[in-house]
Amino acid sequence: MAKKNLGDIEDNNKNLGGVSALFNSPAKEIAKEEKVAPKADEETVTYPLRMKKSSLKALKILGAQKGITVKDLIMSVIEKEYDL
């Protein structure tokens, strides 16, 4: 289904705030700027990792405290352990 242009539907209606963001596509210039190019020298692959729920929960809490992702926590430990 094609997106519809609802124009200025938000004008003079406080209950419809943000509706146009749902229906109108973002400007093409903004969309191009937001894309982050992956590093050309490194290829990234996915690998499933199984772990206990309690371990994952602990990693999520630790990551939230340090302000980094679970993936970054795991990768830093692997790099330190195996000198990668």
pTM tops 0.75: no
How does pLDDT run across 22-59, given as a tens digit for each residue? Answer: 665 555 545 455 555 556 667 888 889 999 999 999 99
Q: How far apart are CA 83 and CA 75, in angstroms?
A: 11
Could you report the per-residue pLDDT of 6-24, keeping only the tens digit for each? Answer: 666 566 666 665 655 566 5
Please tell me which residue, 47 or 4, carries the higher pLDDT value. 47
The CATH code for residues 41-84 is 1.10.1220
Residue 83 backbone phi and psi in degrees, to 5: 50, 55
> Any idea where the domains of the chain sit in the sequence?
1-36, 41-84
Amino acid making up residue 49:
L
What is the tens place of the pLDDT at every residue in 53-81? Answer: 999 999 999 999 999 999 999 999 999 99
Q: How far apart are CA 6 and CA 23, in angstroms?
A: 7
CB 4 within 8 A of CB 22: no
DSSP string, 46-59: -------HHHHHHH
The number of CA neighbours under 13 Å toward the Cβ of 71 is 4
Query: Strands, E, within 1-84: which ranges?
Result: none
